[in-house]
Amino acid sequence: MFEAIAFYLFAFLTIVMFYIVVTTSQALYALTALAAGMIFISAFFFILGADFLGVVQIIVYTGAVMALYAFGMMFFDTTRGVKEKQGNKYIISGLSTLAAVLIVMIVAAPIVSKNIVAYYPVVEGVGNVQQVGMVLFTKYLVPFELAAVMLLVAMIAGIVLAGKKMDLSITLMSREEIEAMKDESNKKVLS
Amino acid sequence: MMEIGLNHYLVLSTILFCIGLVGVMKRKNLLMLFFSTEILLNAVNISFAAISHYYGDFTGQMFAFFVIAIAASEVAVGLGLLIVWFKRFGNVDLDSMSSMRG
C-alpha cells in the first residue's frame, strides 16, 4: 500500500522535474530541477532495497555532479535566457516514432527473457551494503579498478582543461592579443 | 494497480528515457544537452535497480554503480571542454560548433 503510494508520488515528481529540465529556458531552473529529480530517483532505489545505490546516487549526483555544474555555470552567462530556435517537424515526428518503438522494446524485453537465472543471488539476512562489498570486490574487482583509473584520468583532464589560464578570459581579448599570447608560448617552447 | 511490479518501474524508466531523448534532440544549448544526458543515464539506472530487485540478482546494481562512475567522469571532462569553448567563443551553442565543416 505505502509502496504503491510512494511509487506513484515519486514517479509523478520525477517526471515533472525532468520535464522542467527539458523545457525550461533558464539554465538555473534546469539545474535546480535536475538536482531535485536526482534526489527523487534515489527514493526509488530505497524502495527497491538498494540502499547503498540510493546513498551513492545522492552523494555523487546531487553532491558532486550538481556542484560541478554549479561551478561550471559561474563561467557561463546564465542570467540571459537560452536562445534556441525550434527544430523542424520531421525531427519531432521521427523522435516520437523512436520513442514508441523504445516503449514496446522495453516492455517486451523482460517478457521475452523469462528464463533469467540469477548469477549473484541476493543472500537472505545479509545487509545490502555488505553484499555490495562482497560482489564488488570479488567478481567485479577489475572493472572497479578500471573505473577508479578512469575517474582519475577524468579528474586530471578536467583540471588541465578548466584550470588553464584561469585569470584571463580569451573571449574578452582581441584577436591580436591572442595571437601575441600564442607567439609567446611558442617562443617558450622553442627556447 | 496497488501492487507495484517490475513493469511499473520499466514503464517509468521508459518515460524518463523518452523525456531525456526529446531533450537531447530538441536542445541547442550544450549545457542543456548535458543535463539531458544525465536524465538518460538515470532512467537506465532505475530499470537496472528494478530488475536487480525483482529477479533477486545483484548484477543490475553493480552495473548501476559503473554507470554512475561513467556519468561523473563524463561530466568532469565535458564541463572542462565546455569552459574552454566558452572562454574562446563566448557561447555554448551547438549551431556555432561547425568549424570542422561536418
Distance of CA A189 to the CA centre of its chain: 38
| DSSP assignments along A101-141, one per residue | HHHHHHHHHHHH------SSBPPTTS-HHHHHHHHHTTTTH
Each residue's pLDDT tens digit, B58-100: 888 899 999 999 999 999 898 888 888 887 777 777 777 777 7
Question: Do A30 and B32 count as a contact with CB atoms less than 8 A apart?
Answer: yes
A99 with B21: CB under 8 angstroms?
A: yes
Question: Do B26 and A22 count as a contact with CB atoms less than 8 A apart?
Answer: yes
A144 with A136: CB under 8 angstroms?
A: yes
B76 → closest Cβ in A1, A44, A154: A154
Distance of CA A165 to the CA centre of its chain: 27
pLDDT confidence bin for A113, thresholds 50/70/90: low
Return d(Cα A58, Cα A44) in angstroms, integer: 12
Average pLDDT over every residue of A30-56: 91
Q: Is the dihedral of CA A137, B55, B70, A146 positive or negative?
A: positive
Q: Which grid cell sits at B67?
A: 554507470
Taken in order of first residue, the domains within chain B and their CATH numbers are 9-89 (1.10.287.3510)
Question: Do B86 and A18 count as a contact with CB atoms less than 8 A apart?
Answer: no
Of the listed ranges A84-93, B36-45, B58-67, B84-93, the one predicted with least confidence: A84-93
Which residues, in sequence order, are bridge partners of residue A140? none
Question: Do B34 and A56 count as a contact with CB atoms less than 8 A apart?
Answer: no
Q: What is the pLDDT of residue A187?
A: 65
Return d(Cα B41, Cα B63) in angstroms, integer: 11
| Structural Rg of chain A based on CA atoms | 23
Give the residue from A160, A161, A164, A171 with the most B CB atoms within 10 Å of its CB, the best one to mutate.
A161
Distance of CA A6 to the CA centre of its chain: 24
SS3 B10: helix
The Cα of B99 is separated from the nearest Cα of chain A by a number of Å equal to 17
B87 → closest Cβ in A44, A56, A171: A171
Distance of CA A156 to the CA centre of its chain: 19
Residues above pLDDT 70, as percent of chain B: 96
Q: How many other CB atoms are there within 10 angstroms of residue A106's CB atom? A: 18
Computed over every residue of chain A, the mean pLDDT equals 81
A22 with B19: CB under 8 angstroms?
A: yes
The chain A residue lying nearest B37, using CA atoms, is A22
ipTM entry: 0.90
Q: How many Cα neighbours within 13 Å face the side chain of B5?
A: 6
Q: Which grid cell sits at A27?
A: 539554465
The chain A residue lying nearest B36, using CA atoms, is A22
From A44, A64, A40, A56, select the one nearest A132 (Cα to Cα).
A56
